[in-house]
Amino acid sequence: MSWIHVMVLTPFIFATIVPYLYKKFNQKIHTGWFVFFIPVFIFAYLITFIPEISGGNTFMKILPWLPSYNIDFAIYMDGLSLIFALLIAGIGALVVLYSIYYMSKDREALHNFYVYLLMFMGAMLGLVFSDNIFVLYVFWEMTSVSSFLLIAYWYEREKSKYGAQKSMLITVFGGLAMLAGLIMLAMMSDTYSIREMLTSHNLEAITSNTLFLPAMILILLGAFTKSAQFPFSIWLPDAMEAPTPISAYLHSATMVKAGIYLVARLTPIFGGTGEWFWIVTGVGLVTLLYGSVNAVRQTDLKALLAYSTISQLGLIMSLLGMGSGALYFGYGDESFIYATAIFAAIFHLVNHSTFKGCLFMVVGIIDHETGTRDLRKLGGLMHLMPISFTLMIIGGFSMAGLPPFNGFLSKELFFTATLQAANMSIFNLANLGFVIPVIAWVASIFTFIYSMILVFKTFRGKHRFVRVDKPVHEAPFGMLISPLILAILVVAIFFFPNLFSKYFLLPAWEGVLPSLAQAGELSIKLSPWHGWTPELIMTLGVVGLGILMYLYIRKWYRIYNYYPQALTLNTIYNFSLENMEVLSKKATNKYMTGFIRDYLVYIFAFIVVIVGGVFWTFGGFTFDVSQDADINIYEAGLVIAMIISAVTVLFSKSRLTSILAIGALGFLVSFFFVLFRAPDLALTQLVVETVTTVLFLLCFYHLPELRKEIGKIPFKMTNAIISIGVGVIITVVALSAKGTRLFDSISSYYENSYELAGAKNIVNAILVDFRGIDTMLEILVLTMAGLGVYTLIKLRMARRDKNEGAE
């Protein structure tokens, strides 16, 4: 247990007392204020690690959890996890602060909100710090669950429920796929620790294994669903039903970055192969294009932001893919050139969190103040909300990749990376490489357009929206603090990029490519002006074309009408969901008939098929008569008598006959116990049989006369076939088990019972001494059964008495 463990667990622990605080203080103080301190403290604590981490150190703390399964809560802190944790805690603090003003303390169920939020925060911290893949997986799913709860926070709204369900289904599907992938990974490398997988010995074992590709694809499925990559992106726009602080936190800054984190974390394992490169880059680029093109046609501000998030995530993902090519080249200079892409990915990731967080909060303010997020209704807010407008410009222009904002720097790096990737000579890039910068460039134009729509459609133009109850004005100051801080960061990073990169980005880069970091340092100088490079020309092209297209948007907007509605991913999702529900209901109704007999048929048939199947396939049937004792005439007689009495039970028409027959059967069994040298058993059986018979008689006195089984022939035939099957199988099992002795009997130990327990009756010694605890529990069960009988009878009698009294 280290302090880092405590830190990860703090949100969970604190979440347990939130409801209490809410109940106690919410009348006076907004619950958010209590919660606010948690991320602030965590952030402050994490800051203290920066000098160490940027100096190249890493921390590994292990808290044994399930040591016998090698599952430990191992925390590994390096630059990568630190930068994610800082984002989680930092944005978390700002979001909580923002939510204090956004969420009304009188109307909202704040305790739920903050419990979910803290749960998410803890899960996310655990996710980025876990070194053990299974612990990581647990936290991963926990983020899905808390995201579900937060999206469905306004659970009375139909759309919230729909969005929550959708995100849950998709991310959990991905999570399960990832689990399978992680298990494969563990099988290949024989360890659960990501750190240990990276040792060259294990790495070799992984890359040479045939499971390498399946494991990679499964894990990527998890990462892609989480990070809303095409075609799994559809859940993100619907997740926007969550309260805006949540959208800002989970669905732009942190949770959707978990997939990015995973890809970055596993790059040293999978990177350097053609498959990884093409899948990650390809999916990233497609997502980038898909997101940006779709964002333009959105009319809901949050939906627009959602699609822009999808596209930006695709951008980061594709950068990670391109950067992974560096591992192919070993430790040469070339690999450092390509490793720039990884650096760009981390840089853009941070930038995206800042400007997108800011944008979401501003949109939340607009929603809060005007009551709508519909672009068609909004407009001309510039004069009414000047501060929000400024913030929106900062965020929007940064997203569009304009100076003097941090988005410009990372966008330039992105172009650099695409151009370099196009020149790579590996993985068929010589033929296909030119596609990468082209897609990137086109997508950037659309990015530019939607950024402009976001800023100008909302704030410029006529003031069309008229709100009835109160005039629209600027948001309260408290609500503006958080986006303001983020906006300041956006600008600050632009002006001091190298300082920022030294302490945050380079350590994170080292975390992604540890082997490369050992070979040398990445020398990268970030500056707004590099001269007339191709990147700059590309940017200028984006801006020029973007402005033109924005101005004439009406002219070409119509092409969106040709977008085939029936083929959208959402339609497919809805269709399959509906059909699956119908289908499963049908299937369930088919076998869940409600007849106990049918269930028993399933069970018995299953026994026959499985046990019989095992015997058949493994040839387990052995038959060994040599051990058998001779059968004398008494025994043969007993056997025949037993069979007769059993058959009598089967065919008897009257209650009394069957009871007597079953009693006879019991007594015959006890005779067998005598023959088998089991005096104790014989005695017990004898007495039990007596008592049972009395019991049967007592009960049957109340129960109706046996009726003739009226049933159709097929019904009886099924029963007969199944029972014959069971009988045969049991016979076979008995014969084989008798013929097979894998181990010596352990009973000989108990023959010391006189010395060990002072008893000459071995059976009794076993019961009361050697296996005393079994016996104790057994009499407990016995007593419970007795009490059960008693209550069943007496309860009814009591009720009857009461009823009679009432009458």
To another protein, the closest distance from the beta carbon of 113 in angstroms equals 35
Closer Cβ to another protein, 211 or 767, answer by number: 767
Q: Are 424 and 325 in contact (CB under 8 A)?
A: yes
To another protein, the closest distance from the beta carbon of 713 in angstroms equals 14
Among 156, 333, 709, 744, binds another protein (CB under 8 A): 709
To another protein, the closest distance from the beta carbon of 586 in angstroms equals 14
The values of phi and psi at residue 607, to 5°, are -55, -50
Does 774 help bind another protein (rule: CB under 8 A)?
yes
Among 783, 798, 801, 802, binds another protein (CB under 8 A): 783
d(CA 167, CA 318): 23
To another protein, the closest distance from the beta carbon of 696 in angstroms equals 7
Instruction: Please state, as a whole number, how many other Cβ atoms lie within 10 Å of the Cβ of residue 3.
Output: 9
Pick the piece of the chain touching another protein (CB under 8 A) from 119-127, 200-208, 390-398, 778-786.
Answer: 778-786
Pick the piece of the chain touching another protein (CB under 8 A) from 10-18, 268-276, 564-572, 641-649.
Answer: 641-649
To another protein, the closest distance from the beta carbon of 576 in angstroms equals 24
| Both tokens assigned to 6 | 């405590």
Interaction with another protein in 411-440: which residues (CB under 8 A)? none
Among 780, 798, 801, 802, binds another protein (CB under 8 A): 780
Among 66, 547, 720, 798, binds another protein (CB under 8 A): 720
Does 641 help bind another protein (rule: CB under 8 A)?
no
Which 8-state DSSP code applies to residue 59?
E
Here the contacts of 668-673 (C-beta below 8 Å, separation 24 or greater) are 668/638, 668/641, 668/642, 669/642, 671/638, 672/638, 672/642
| Both tokens assigned to 122 | 């803890």
Residue whose token pair is 């134009």: 445
Q: Are 112 and 258 in contact (CB under 8 A)?
A: no
Closer Cβ to another protein, 569 or 678, answer by number: 678
Does 758 help bind another protein (rule: CB under 8 A)?
yes
To another protein, the closest distance from the beta carbon of 738 in angstroms equals 6
Pick the piece of the chain touching another protein (CB under 8 A) from 35-43, 312-320, 337-345, 704-712.
Answer: 704-712
Nearest to 711 by CA among 571, 802, 597: 597
Among 521, 581, 778, 801, binds another protein (CB under 8 A): 778
Which 8-state DSSP code applies to residue 628?
P
Closer Cβ to another protein, 571 or 723, answer by number: 723
d(CA 794, CA 94): 63
d(CA 102, CA 117): 15
Binding mask 200-219 for another protein (x = CB under 8 A): --------------------
How many residues of this chain bind another protein (CB under 8 A)? 114
Residue whose token pair is 């402005």: 547
CA end-to-end span of the chain = 68
**Crossing angle for the helix pair 257-270 and 333-370, nearest 10 degrees?**
170
d(CA 427, CA 297): 35
To another protein, the closest distance from the beta carbon of 618 in angstroms equals 19
Does 658 help bind another protein (rule: CB under 8 A)?
yes
To another protein, the closest distance from the beta carbon of 593 in angstroms equals 8
To another protein, the closest distance from the beta carbon of 604 in angstroms equals 6
Does 368 help bind another protein (rule: CB under 8 A)?
no
Interaction with another protein in 662-701: which residues (CB under 8 A)? 662, 665-666, 669, 672-673, 675-681, 683-685, 687-688, 690-692, 694-696, 698-701
Closer Cβ to another protein, 540 or 610, answer by number: 610
Instruction: Please state, as a whole number, how many other Cβ atoms lie within 10 Å of the Cβ of residue 504.
Output: 22
Closer Cβ to another protein, 557 or 676, answer by number: 676
Interaction with another protein in 543-602: which residues (CB under 8 A)? 593-597, 600-601
Does 787 help bind another protein (rule: CB under 8 A)?
yes
Q: Which residues of 289-313 are buried (b: 16+ CB within 10 A; e: fewer)?
A: bbbbbbbbbbebbbbbbbbbbbbbb
Closer Cβ to another protein, 576 or 589, answer by number: 589
| Both tokens assigned to 571 | 């339609």
Here the contacts of 208-211 (C-beta below 8 Å, separation 24 or greater) are 211/184, 211/187
Closer Cβ to another protein, 519 or 675, answer by number: 675
Closer Cβ to another protein, 478 or 727, answer by number: 727
The residue type of 706 is: L
Among 44, 580, 656, 785, binds another protein (CB under 8 A): 785
Does 779 help bind another protein (rule: CB under 8 A)?
yes
Does 768 help bind another protein (rule: CB under 8 A)?
yes
Here the contacts of 768-772 (C-beta below 8 Å, separation 24 or greater) are none
Closer Cβ to another protein, 111 or 738, answer by number: 738
Instruction: Please state, as a whole number, how many other Cβ atoms lie within 10 Å of the Cβ of residue 610.
Output: 11
Q: How many CA atoms lie within 13 A of 777 on its CB side?
A: 3
DSSP string, 20-54: HHHHHHTTTS-HHHHHHHHHHHHHHHHHTTHHHHH
Closer Cβ to another protein, 559 or 737, answer by number: 737
Contacts of 177 (CB under 8 A, 6+ apart): 218, 219, 221, 222, 225
Closer Cβ to another protein, 746 or 806, answer by number: 746
Interaction with another protein in 309-328: which residues (CB under 8 A)? none
Does 703 help bind another protein (rule: CB under 8 A)?
yes
Which 8-state DSSP code applies to residue 327?
G
Q: Is the peptide bond before 403 cis (omega within 30 degrees of 0)?
A: no
Say if strands 71-77 and 59-66 run parallel, antiparallel, or are unpaired. Answer: antiparallel
Residue 520 burial class via C-beta count within 10 angstroms: exposed 0-12, middle 13-18, buried 19 and up:
exposed
Q: Give just the sign of the alpha carbon dihedral 441, 342, 174, 211.
A: positive
Closer Cβ to another protein, 456 or 700, answer by number: 700
Closer Cβ to another protein, 506 or 665, answer by number: 665
Q: Three-state SS for 420?
A: helix
Interaction with another protein in 601-640: which residues (CB under 8 A)? 601, 604, 627-629, 639
Closer Cβ to another protein, 468 or 698, answer by number: 698
To another protein, the closest distance from the beta carbon of 632 in angstroms equals 10
Closer Cβ to another protein, 564 or 758, answer by number: 758
Instruction: Quote the Cα angle for 702-707-710, to 5°.
Output: 150
Binding mask 736-755 for another protein (x = CB under 8 A): -xx------xxx--xx-xx-
